[in-house]
Amino acid sequence: MTQKNLQALLEDARQAGIYALPHGDRLALRDAAEAAGFACFEADLGDCDRIEAVLTQLGRQFGFPEWYGSNFDALKDCLSDISWREEPGYLLILSRADTLQFANADAFRTLNDVFAAVIDAWRAQDVPMWVVYDCQTDGLATLPTLE
């Protein structure tokens, strides 16, 4: 897939969602998102087997405001109102999240429920938000056009 086609996919809020990234496509995805003017956030969650650590790590690595409280509600608030980083779209790349998934599947599901709610809220405003896991994560569709 060309960068132009990938960029067009990312700009389509109707297709935005939570996906697993095919191996080796991280750079192409970032390049397309940056070409579209998106804000790109990345977090490595490899050492986090507890949701509290994941939420803290997300806040730190995404550069959330000082008021971020490292809980699901605060995560939803920060991602729903990105007034501190207004862009035409958003890409979140999470690597090694399988550590949390294996340690606490319920917390992993709740995390994705929060992401899904935020994606839906942005979609209602015709703003794409993508959450992409750069790891082999059970239960997630692979980003379709990168295969």
Length of the chain: 147
Task: Kindly state the tokens that stand for 136.
Answer: 């082999």
**What separation in angstroms does the CA of 101 have from each of 21, 51, 59, 129?**
16, 10, 19, 22
Tokens at residue 8, please? 């067009």
CA distance linking residue 77 with residue 67, whole number of Å: 10
pLDDT digits (tens, 9 = 90+) for 19-70: 988 766 888 899 999 999 999 999 999 889 999 999 999 999 999 999 999 9
pLDDT in tens, 64-115: 999 999 999 999 999 998 877 789 999 999 999 988 988 999 999 999 999 9
Give the count of beta carbons closer than 10 Å to the beta carbon of residue 141: 9
Residue 91 is encoded by which pair of tokens?
């890409």
CATH architecture for segment(s) 3-146: 2-Layer Sandwich (3.30)
Q: For residues 107 and 146, is the Cβ–Cβ distance under 8 A?
A: no
pTM of the predicted model over 0.85 = yes
Q: Average pLDDT, stretch 123-131?
A: 96
- What's the pLDDT score for residue 147? 45
Judge whether residue 138 has pLDDT over 80: no
